[in-house]
């Protein structure tokens, strides 16, 4: 068995004939499987210049940015470039009506003015190792039920080694649904400071209206700096830390891009699901996605009302609003494009082919039937998870109440007083932050509407018994009942006021907590899920796991000459392709580059999403573009490539054939929003800010030529 699996792990990555644009490749394996093709496409570097362990290489300039994005080092003094939307939270939380850097922009005049961002970190990959053999060997004889726990144990065995001197950190990643395992060794830096940002009318130009769409005109970038101790080692924040000297930093290309130019993107794609079964797609289209959208709609509308009324409140809610809105639109687009591109039918066809191949092969023959059986059991309860996570726990105050779950567990019958006290401490530590951006009146409306949606869309026999208590509230219609119930909760719960919450924490009591209407409600919904539905969700996951693993293995056996790449899983990957225009629909052609002309066309001072700073308008009128303009005198803004990226790649460098930075990736396009499930060669594009626009915005708009001076600009 072990032998078979190993040969399959090798098969997985076998050679020839792949489309260059599709694929998020593991850097360690580029030399073996992709390098020749990359060269044929226009790469001029050696394989060692892309990824090397002993000498510096491109990988040393790529950072995993705060867990959700990518950044790149662009100066010998640890300057990091990433997206504006990746720095958004740091920028917004450093803004007040008196010093509003979110709206006005900011550039530090010197190191002393850079703003330390508490909690922010970046990690740089030191090396990657294939641990498939070892992990699969250790898993032999382990049942499916015990597999997750056993895997954690094996991971720990491998990564504990790095804890000894604490210099590096090991993280394991499962690939190909559990057919391969890789170790990533990181160096993690935690003293990260904000260097600069354009105003959000530039960094988020086009707002949610333009989000996920091309043609685009957003200057989506911000800048940070990595600080290290005197020995250039990673260290916690200290005022006398110094700018980090990287092993490699990317030179900035001033050459500009043309259609067909080679382009590769290095970064940390978060999650794709390219081996999803047709049933999962059907469920997403019919149930899960529309539910997420409806639940997020409620939050967005209520927050927007608050944000429109008051600048200070807008600053407090902006970052949360942006992140909820981003995936609200994502799920609208994903659903629309999965339908348009008939992704379900495509999967059905692939599955039919798989079944042909599987006939008479005991290891594959029952895979798809077993998947269908698992879905038959799961489908009726699938929305429980969505309603809990995006609904009940999406209500801010409910989230706060749920932070006392560990207290309740340990305080009940005085089970573990120390643990109970610890839980109170943890909740208290979070309260300053929570109450500074808590808007009970908006929250109250959100709660009422979410409960009503739950009531209408979850079958009655799946409701918690507590629903009856809620429905005892006054009101002629259910809507009125939920509204009155929510009103009562926010009037009576101690979670609704910081002072009352702190008072509770001073003298916590299990009895008092259970009597709190907010806690009682959250507890009722959560327990309902935990006792009745979580076991079914777990059973579904356990049933699907081995089938997905066999399915991927079977696909590889079916296509022995194809090179497979694993799904994104927040590990370092490289995708290569070229600058490329596309035709979104019949008779429409989208060019590959936008310019500042387009910003002016979209400009509308009455619409906050399309407003622009006066200084940018002036620079445009004066055509004061410095050396950053295009040959025809226009100022480039964004361009598209056919690279294969997803969320997490935000901020990733777009690099030319000579290893120079030509742009940074910041989005995907509408016509290929189904891309996390199926890569569509015809439609899928990556949207990038042109690096020349970034330089122009720092130098001319930001008045910070000293920052540009730190970089290595090459023609």
The helices-and-strands tally (H runs, E runs) of the chain is 30, 22
For 448, how many CA atoms within 13 A lie in the half-sphere containing its CB?
A: 22
Least CB distance to ligand ARG at residue 281 (A): 21
- Judge whether 650 counts as a catalytic residue: yes
Whether omega before 165 lies within 30 degrees of 0, making that bond cis, reads: no
Q: Binding pattern to ligand ARG, positions 78-97, x when CB under 6 A?
A: -------x------------
Nearer to ligand ARG, 72 or 667 (CB): 667
Choosing from 42, 116, 207, 546, the residue that interacts with ligand ARG (CB under 6 A) is: 207
Minimum CB–partner distance for residue 707 and ligand ARG (Å): 23
Decide: 635 and 52 in contact? Cβ < 8 Å: no
Does position 334 interact with ligand ARG (CB under 6 A)? The reply is no
Which is nearer to ligand ARG, 529 or 639 (by Cβ)?
639
Paired with 242 in beta bridges are 228
Residue 695 burial by Cβ neighbours in a 10 Å radius (0-12, 13-18, 19+): buried
The nearer residue to ligand ARG, 358 or 645, going by C-beta atoms, is 645
**Nearer to ligand ARG (CB atom), residue 525 or residue 670:** 670
CA distance 267 to 270: 10
How far apart CA 626 and CA 607 sit, in angstroms, is 29
101 or 154: whose CB is closer to ligand ARG? 101
Which of 201, 403, 650, 674 is flagged as catalytic?
650
Q: Which of residues 467-506 bind ligand ARG (CB under 6 A)?
A: none
Task: Give yes or no for a contact between 657 and 262, defined as CB atoms under 8 angstroms apart.
Answer: yes
In sequence order, the 6+-apart residues with CB closer than 8 A to the CB of 554 are 354, 357, 358, 361, 363, 364, 367
Helix (H, G, I), strand (E, B) or coil at 601: helix
Buried (b) or exposed (e) across 438-469, using 16+ Cβ within 10 A?
bbbebbbbbbbbbbbbbbebbeeebbbebbee
Whether 278 is catalytic: no
SS3 for 260-328 is: CCEEEEEECCCCCCCCCCHHHHHHHHHHHHHHHHHHHHHHHHHHHHHHHHCHHHHHHHHHHHHHHHHHH
Among 126, 249, 326, 563, contact with ligand ARG (rule: CB under 6 A): 326
Instruction: Give 322 or 548: the residue with its C-beta nearer to ligand ARG.
Output: 322
Stretch in the footprint of ligand ARG (CB under 6 A) among 90-98, 185-193, 205-213, 568-576? 205-213
Query: Which of positions 631-660 make contact with ligand ARG (CB under 6 A)?
Result: 647, 650
Rule CB under 6 A: say whether 70 interacts with ligand ARG: no
- Applying CB under 6 A, among 48, 129, 169, 208 the residue interacting with ligand ARG is 208
Count residues near ligand ARG (CB under 6 A): 13
Per CB under 6 A, 204 contacts ligand ARG: yes
Q: Any contact of residue 212 with ligand ARG (CB under 6 A)?
A: yes
Instruction: Please tell me whether residue 251 binds ligand ARG under the rule CB under 6 A.
Output: no
Residue 8 vs 687, nearer CB to ligand ARG: 687
From the CB of 675, what's the least distance to ligand ARG, in Å?
12
Q: Which stretch binds ligand ARG (CB under 6 A): 173-181, 206-214, 398-406, 522-530?
A: 206-214
Report yes or no: 568 and 24 within 8 Å, Cβ to Cβ. Answer: yes
Nearer to ligand ARG, 388 or 689 (CB): 689
Considering 85, 89, 123, 699, which one is annotated as catalytic? 85
β-pair partners for 181: 174
Q: Write out the two tokens for 647.
A: 């969320």
Q: How far is the CB of 71 from ligand ARG (least distance, A)?
A: 13
User: How many angstroms separate the CA atoms of 127 and 157, rounded?
Assistant: 18
H-state helical runs in 628-714? 691-696, 705-709
Tell me the per-residue interface mask from 128 to 147 with ligand ARG, x by CB under 6 A, - otherwise.
Answer: --------------------
| Cα 647 from Cα 466, distance rounded (Å) | 38
Report the Cα 280 to chain-centroid distance in Å.
Answer: 21
Among 223-231, 318-326, 477-485, 513-521, which window interacts with ligand ARG (CB under 6 A)?
318-326
Q: Which helix or strand (DSSP H or E) is residue 485 part of? A: helix 478-492
Which residues are identified as catalytic? 85, 220, 650
Residues that bind ligand ARG (CB under 6 A): 85, 204, 207-208, 211-212, 322, 325-326, 647, 650, 666-667
């Amino acid at each position: 068995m072990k032998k078979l699996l190993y040969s399959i792990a090798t098969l997985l990555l076998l050679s020839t004939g792949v489309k260059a644009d599709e694929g998020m490749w593991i850097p360690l394996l580029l030399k073996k499987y992709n390098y020749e093709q990359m060269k044929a496409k226009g790469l001029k570097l050696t394989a060692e210049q892309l990824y090397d362990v002993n000498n510096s290489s491109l990988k040393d300039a790529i950072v995993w940015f705060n867990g959700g994005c990518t950044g790149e080092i662009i100066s010998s003094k640890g300057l990091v470039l990433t997206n504006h939307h990746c720095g958004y939270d740091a920028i917004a939380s450093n803004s007040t009506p008196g010093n509003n850097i979110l709206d006005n922009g900011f550039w530090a005049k010197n190191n002393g003015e850079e703003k330390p961002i508490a909690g922010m970190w970046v990690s740089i990959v030191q090396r990657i190792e294939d641990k498939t053999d070892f992990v699969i060997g250790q898993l032999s004889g382990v049942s499916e039920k015990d597999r997750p726990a056993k895997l954690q144990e094996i991971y720990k065995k491998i990564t504990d080694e790095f804890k000894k001197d604490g210099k590096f950190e090991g993280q394991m990643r499962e690939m190909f649904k559990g057919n391969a395992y890789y170790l990533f060794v990181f160096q993690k830096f935690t003293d990260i400071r904000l260097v600069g940002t354009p105003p959000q009318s530039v960094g988020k130009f086009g707002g949610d209206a333009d989000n996920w769409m091309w043609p685009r005109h957003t200057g989506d970038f911000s800048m940070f700096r990595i600080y290290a101790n005197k020995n250039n080692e990673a260290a916690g924040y200290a005022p006398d830390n110094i700018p980090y000297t990287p092993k490699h930093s990317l030179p900035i290309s001033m050459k500009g891009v043309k259609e067909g130019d080679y382009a590769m993107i290095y970064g940390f794609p978060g999650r794709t699901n390219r081996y999803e079964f047709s049933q999962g797609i059907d469920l997403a289209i019919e149930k899960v996605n529309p539910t997420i959208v409806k639940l997020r709609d409620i939050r967005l509308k209520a927050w927007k009302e608050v944000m429109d009324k008051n600048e200070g409140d807008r600053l407090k809610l902006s970052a949360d609003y942006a992140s909820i809105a981003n995936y609200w639109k994502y799920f609208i687009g994903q659903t629309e494009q999965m339908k348009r591109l008939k992704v379900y039918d495509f999967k059905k066809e692939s599955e039919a082919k798989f079944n042909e191949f599987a006939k008479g092969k005991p290891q594959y023959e029952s895979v798809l039937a077993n998947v269908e059986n698992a879905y038959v059991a799961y489908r009726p309860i699938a929305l429980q998870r969505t309603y809990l996570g995006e609904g009940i726990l999406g209500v801010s105050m409910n989230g706060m109440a749920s932070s006392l779950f560990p207290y309740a567990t340990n305080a009940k019958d005085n089970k573990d007083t120390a643990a109970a006290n610890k839980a109170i401490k943890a909740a208290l530590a979070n309260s300053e932050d929570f109450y500074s951006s808590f808007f009970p009146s908006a929250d109250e409306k959100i709660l009422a509407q979410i409960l009503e949606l739950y009531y209408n869309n979850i079958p009655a026999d799946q409701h918690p018994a507590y629903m009856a208590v809620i429905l005892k509230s006054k009101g002629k219609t259910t809507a009125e009942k939920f509204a009155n119930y929510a009103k009562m909760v926010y009037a009576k719960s101690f979670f609704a006021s910081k002072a009352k919450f702190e008072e509770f924490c001073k003298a916590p009591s299990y009895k008092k907590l259970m009597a709190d209407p907010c806690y009682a409600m959250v507890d009722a919904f959560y327990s309902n899920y935990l006792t009745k539905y979580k076991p079914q969700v777990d059973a579904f996951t356990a049933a699907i796991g081995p089938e997905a693993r066999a399915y991927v293995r079977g696909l590889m056996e079916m296509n022995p000459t194809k090179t497979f790449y694993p799904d994104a899983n927040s590990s370092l990957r490289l995708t290569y392709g070229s600058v490329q225009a596309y035709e979104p629909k019949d008779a429409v052609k989208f060019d590959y580059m936008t310019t500042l002309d387009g910003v002016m066309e979209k400009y509308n001072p009455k619409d906050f999403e399309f407003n622009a700073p006066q200084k940018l308008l002036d620079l445009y009128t004066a055509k004061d573009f410095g050396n950053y303009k295009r040959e025809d005198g226009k100022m480039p803004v964004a361009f598209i490539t056919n690279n294969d990226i997803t969320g997490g790649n935000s901020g990733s460098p777009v690099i030319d054939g000579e290893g120079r930075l030509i742009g940074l990736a910041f989005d995907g396009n509408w016509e290929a929003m189904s891309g996390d499930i199926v890569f569509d060669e015809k439609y899928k594009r990556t949207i990038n800010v042109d690096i020349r626009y970034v330089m122009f915005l720092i130098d001319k708009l930001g008045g910070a030529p000293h920052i540009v001076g730190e970089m290595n600009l090459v023609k």
